Structure 1
Amino acid sequence: MRTPTFTTRPDLDGTFGMVASTHWLASSSAMAVLERGGNAADAAVAGGLVLQVVEPHLNGPGGDMALLLHHADADAPLALSGTGPAPAAATIERYADLGLDLVPGAGALAAAVPGQSDAWLLLLRDHGTWELSDVAAYALHYATRGFPVVPTIHRTIATVEDLFRQHWPTSAAQWLADGVPAAGAQLTNQPWARTLERLVAAGTGASREERIDAVRRTWAEGFVAEAINAFVRTPHRHSDGGTYAGLLTGSDLAAHRAHFEPAVVGTFRGHRIAKCGPWTQGISLLQTLGILDAASDEALDLTDPAALHLVVETIKLAMADRDGFLGDRDDVPVAALLDRDYLASRRVLITDDASFELRPGSPGGRTPYHPPLVESHLAPTDVAAGEPTVRRSGIMQGDTCHLDVVDRWGTMISATPSGGWLQSSPFIPEVGFALGTRLQQCWLDPAAPSALEPGRRPRMTLTPTLVLHDDEAVSALGTPGGDDQDQWQLLYLLRTLAGGMSPQEAIDAPMLSSAAFPNSFWPRAWNPGGLLVEDRFDVGVVADLERRGHRVTRSAPWSLGRLSAVTRDPATGRLGAAANPRGMQGYAVGR
């Protein structure tokens, strides 16, 4: 029997329900819903609305989301698209007229149509049982009564203090009313609380579904859309130093509704792995698993530098295909990208030395897109320890939240909400949130599969995961982390499905991530051969990676990966959960 490794927390074990997320208040709120008879969808919506309030530096009501659902009575998993498309006026020519060759990383020019809040409402309508007033009560409590400032909120606001005071006065009024909030202080968001109350009051109709649809219309066509339309007309500072008005309009919001679609499924070690479609980067994880499935368990022992090298080189190939082919288009060659023969042809490209090229393939004979390659000028010391929300250089990158739920009936949800963080664009005081910046993940090149185009979703980094066995969901997992999300989930899946680790062991184990492909966030730089590793890997392992040519940067010992997961054993009905200890914020709860 394998000897268990040290874990920071226990693997939870029970039969009633489990929740794990990036914040203890969201996990506890979702669990409270399960305790009161709600199902997984009710709990996920309650927890998701709490995340909008208590992690404002990581997501918000004006952001976006990718979600996977496997209903206990369903035959196949579903993906919920919670990201809106580019506005009608967001053409490549419009940005070129402004002298831009990239979509800025902050400011309303980067805003897609907000999709997250409508997606939560759709999940509640179609798969939940509770009224919106009941699931929203938890978020309303924290928005009104206050929530604790975690250290990363303090650091984020401190970093953007000058920007807020000099250029974004509405953000300063909300987040700097009493100076930079100290870690442990209490914050509220009264404007969002008033908006949430108005939305709940708008939910009239004969049935629960009709009441929720009335709220969705109010969001997309009523006072929320009107406030956004008016606010973004005022020019404001963007991340490139320019001053522009936004392009989003009320008509854009009115035209959008979140929707469900089939998940994309790959295989690894006899399990089916479900991901969202090519409007996310999720297919990259399926490619890496497909390539590595041919290796033995011993060859995937992540304490061995040869295994780590194999994994990193596999990641590079999959991410090159991501930038070469994935986007919100009907002609993405999904089947060809996951074809066994194609993956085998990619596998033979891996040698004993680190690669320094971006090498997309040609699935089905297709010609890949080659994105512009601009090397990163960030020094290794500029990499922020912990959540990479704002770099020390002042470049404003946002991050993400995550939430997993399984109920006693076996319904399982993995959700990754993001965007609309407090540093993404100016705070809209009439409604209590900021817009997102997801359009920065589009290229201003019509040849790119993820080119900016009105009506199309940006190819996003948000990428939750479901694991299925014999058509039943056995695990839901995910993490914040932008381009690193599928990399950290890959390590987790290798450790649990091939290495025999428990979920908490896999989460606690040292993490790494490659930067050897264009970053999805402005300014879209890449670091050929770049590899970031937690400084808990054995020094001999790191030295071996460097000998192979990897340009290794050592990160703080507990700084990479913010995974959470829930599990279910179909044979026994036993449920489990585990959460990330890094940052002392993630939390798993259940019984």
Structure 2
Amino acid sequence: MTFTTRPTLRGTFGMVSSTHWLASQSAMRMLELGGNAFDAAACAGFVLHVVEPHLNGPGGEVPAIVATAEDPTPRVLCGQGVAPAGATIQHFRDLGLSLIPGSGPLAAAVPGAVDAWLLLLRDHGTLPLRTVLEPAIDYARNGHPAVGRVGDTVATVQELFTEYWPTSAALWLQNGRPPAPNELIKNPAYADTLERLVLSAEGAGPDLVAQVERARVTWREGFVAEAIDEFSRLPHRDSSGEDHAGLITGADVAGFTASWEDAATLDWHGHTVAKTGPWGQGPALLQSLAVLAELGDPADLDLTSAEAVHTTVEVMKLSYADREAWYGDAADVPLKTLLSPTYAASRAALIGAEASLELRPGSPDGRRPSLASVATGKELGDATTGEPTVAADGGTRGDTCHVDVADRWGNVISATPSGGWLQSSPTIPSLGFCLGSRLQMFWLEEGLASSLAPGIRPRTTLTPTLVLRDGVPVLACGSPGGDQQDQWQLLFLLRHLTGGQELQEAIDAPAWHTTGFPSSFYPRATEPGGLVIENRLGAAVRDELAGRGHVVTESDAWSLGRLCAVAREPGGVLSAAANPRGMQGYAVGR
């Protein structure tokens, strides 16, 4: 019997897995009240805004992939906000900037998370809005015990708060100090914001759809948009070292709505893997799976060996190089070709016995790739773990949350909330939250797939996953971790789908990732040949990888990834597992 840190949970009623136990249990409460997976996921999403404020917030975003009991076709819920109307390359150049800052109001995209969760409830929810938001309101108003990383994050940016962001200092510094681990922290302003949304919704009458639509309009066109408009105009210090005002206006907030769209899919070894479109990095996972299929039977990979580490890393380098050259919201992305067996075979032929130190995008359909001028700065500290790496100027890498839910009726959802974290931008005091900094993922160079332009989505790293077999959803999974999200998910899928490991065993197994491509986060640095491994892989594996030319960094034994997963097994049995790293994520169910 293989050792695991926890059992894989099994039951028939419902399963939840998320990156914080309070979100998981709050979601389970919705299932116990008769709600479905979508009520539960939305509840968890709002709770995560409160209990993981260093990893996500209402000013951030969320993509999700859903399959309903009535229609199992995977659909993407896009809660990724767009660049404001004033966000032009020329505006940033006029400010003397060559990169969009990694923190501060200037880096903010239009908030998308709240409207997305509300759209999910409008179209698929069953419970009253007050019921779904009740746990988040309670934790914000009456407090919740802070996880240690909240205090660590606040400590990192304490000087920024006290010197330049006084509204953030007022909320997050308890008597002039960061919150201590397990200290009760409250956010009454955000509780009031949610309560005002609920009261507005209830004014529309008892109909659930009418309630949610009223709340959406109140968010986009009422007091929230007004407060964002007013506060965004105030200059604040950002990671450029200067003070800049933001670009978001009330009109930008009013003009954005979350949306539904088709998923990008790949048929792979008897499964269909569904991801977001190439406005995010999701198809990079599909490309990696396609290339691996050209290299042989993935079931034959020994994922404890240096050979398997080398192979998966070289595959991911190629996929992420294509991400850099081709992915973007406004780009003409040749996705059909990128996912084709012919193209995958041409990419597989590039993989040799030695580590590649180059960024090698392909030429799908004979087109010439375009890349940004990449080596732009020094990495922001140790970016090896699934928790955020935060600089003193608020710049953040590896941020994010995740939640998966499966209910007894056959509804399944995978969602990856992120952005709007407490260190990204100064707190808007009347609302109790800050804006995000997702614009940093655009380039300020013309002619690239992810060049900045008003009204388009940044090429986000957020990438939930849904897997189907014979047209039926059987697995939802995901992980925080910025650029590493799909790398860690690739290892999990190989272990579970073709390696036969149970959910918890596949999550617990040692992880690794490459940093051999431009980071999506400011200052957009790259590390040719970079490879980070958990030291549980052992010295022999490490030394062989180094001998192949990889620039190896050993991370702590339990440090890479924060995977969550729920599954539907034959006969209707539900299962779930969560990552033990960080001692924060938990699965619940019965």
- SS of the aligned residue for 2:101 comes to coil
Rounded to whole Å, the distance in 2 between the matches of 1:150 and 1:298 is 38
Distance 1:385 1:41, change over 3 A: closer
1:454-469 counterparts in 2 under 5 A? 454-469=454-469
Are 1:63 and 2:64 counterparts? no
Supply the AA of the counterpart residue of 2:17.
Answer: A
Rounded to whole Å, the distance in 1 between the matches of 2:497 and 2:384 is 31
Supply the AA of the counterpart residue of 1:301.
Answer: D
Q: TM-score, normalised by structure 2?
A: 0.97
Distance 1:384 1:477, change over 3 A: closer
Supply the AA of the counterpart residue of 2:29.
Answer: A
Q: Is the 8 A contact 2:386 2:481 kept in 1?
A: no
Are 1:184 and 2:185 counterparts? no
CA shift for structure 1 position 297:
3.8
- SS of the aligned residue for 1:545 comes to helix
Are 1:118 and 2:115 counterparts? yes
1:30-429 counterparts in 2 under 5 A? 30-178=27-175, 179-203=177-201, 204-206=203-205, 207-294=207-294, 295-297=296-298, 299-329=300-330, 331-374=332-375, 377-378=378-379, 382-383=382-383, 387-391=387-391, 395-397=395-397, 399-429=399-429
Bigger CA drift: 530-539 or 576-585?
A: 530-539
Rounded to whole Å, the distance in 1 between the matches of 2:386 and 2:401 is 14
CA shift for structure 1 position 395:
4.6
Aligned residue in 2 for 1:579: 578
CA shift for structure 1 position 388:
2.9
- The one-character-per-residue Cα deviations of 1:105-149 (angstroms, maximum 9, x if unpaired) are 000111010000000000000011111111000101100111111
CA shift for structure 1 position 397:
3.4
Rounded to whole Å, the distance in 2 between the matches of 1:347 and 1:200 is 53
CA shift for structure 1 position 211:
1.4
Aligned residue in 2 for 1:502: 502
CA shift for structure 1 position 54:
0.3
Aligned length: 586
Rounded to whole Å, the distance in 1 between the matches of 2:299 and 2:62 is 36
Rounded to whole Å, the distance in 2 between the matches of 1:397 and 1:330 is 25
CA shift for structure 1 position 7:
0.4
Gapped regions of structure 1 (runs ≥ 5)? none
Rounded to whole Å, the distance in 1 between the matches of 2:495 and 2:505 is 8
Q: Is the 8 A contact 1:72 1:472 kept in 2?
A: no
CA shift for structure 1 position 458:
0.4
Rounded to whole Å, the distance in 1 between the matches of 2:245 and 2:358 is 38
CA shift for structure 1 position 267:
2.2
Supply the AA of the counterpart residue of 2:357.
Answer: F
- The one-character-per-residue Cα deviations of 1:8-48 (angstroms, maximum 9, x if unpaired) are 00000111100000000000000111011000000001111
Q: TM-score, normalised by structure 1?
A: 0.97
Rounded to whole Å, the distance in 2 between the matches of 1:366 and 1:443 is 20
Gapped regions of structure 2 (runs ≥ 5)? none
Alignment match of 2:20 (pick from 19, 23, 27): 23
Question: Please, what is the CA RMSD of the aligned residues?
Answer: 1.4
Rounded to whole Å, the distance in 2 between the matches of 1:413 and 1:5 is 29
- The one-character-per-residue Cα deviations of 1:487-542 (angstroms, maximum 9, x if unpaired) are 00000001111211111001101111100000000000000000011111121111
- SS of the aligned residue for 1:584 comes to coil
Supply the AA of the counterpart residue of 1:310.
Answer: T
Rounded to whole Å, the distance in 1 between the matches of 2:385 and 2:514 is 16
Rounded to whole Å, the distance in 1 between the matches of 2:290 and 2:8 is 28
- SS of the aligned residue for 2:577 comes to strand
CA shift for structure 1 position 330:
5.9
- The one-character-per-residue Cα deviations of 1:271-323 (angstroms, maximum 9, x if unpaired) are 00000111110000000001112322454221111111110000000000001
Rounded to whole Å, the distance in 2 between the matches of 1:276 and 1:378 is 28
Segments of 4+ in structure 1 off by > 3 A? 375-379, 381-386, 391-398
Rounded to whole Å, the distance in 1 between the matches of 2:395 and 2:38 is 36
Rounded to whole Å, the distance in 2 between the matches of 1:38 and 1:23 is 20
CA shift for structure 1 position 375:
6.5
Supply the AA of the counterpart residue of 1:168.
Answer: W
Q: Is the 8 A contact 2:376 2:523 kept in 1?
A: no
Q: Is the 8 A contact 1:398 1:423 kept in 2?
A: no
Q: Is the 8 A contact 1:375 1:527 kept in 2?
A: no
Q: Is the 8 A contact 1:383 1:392 kept in 2?
A: no
Supply the AA of the counterpart residue of 2:524.
Answer: R
- The one-character-per-residue Cα deviations of 1:40-93 (angstroms, maximum 9, x if unpaired) are 000001111100000000000110011000111114100011011100000000
- SS of the aligned residue for 1:582 comes to coil
Rounded to whole Å, the distance in 2 between the matches of 1:325 and 1:315 is 15
Rounded to whole Å, the distance in 2 between the matches of 1:523 and 1:330 is 23
- The one-character-per-residue Cα deviations of 1:395-434 (angstroms, maximum 9, x if unpaired) are 5436000000000011100000000000000000111100
CA shift for structure 1 position 377:
3.3
1:453-532 counterparts in 2 under 5 A? 453-532=453-532
Q: Is the 8 A contact 1:477 1:564 kept in 2?
A: yes
- SS of the aligned residue for 2:571 comes to coil
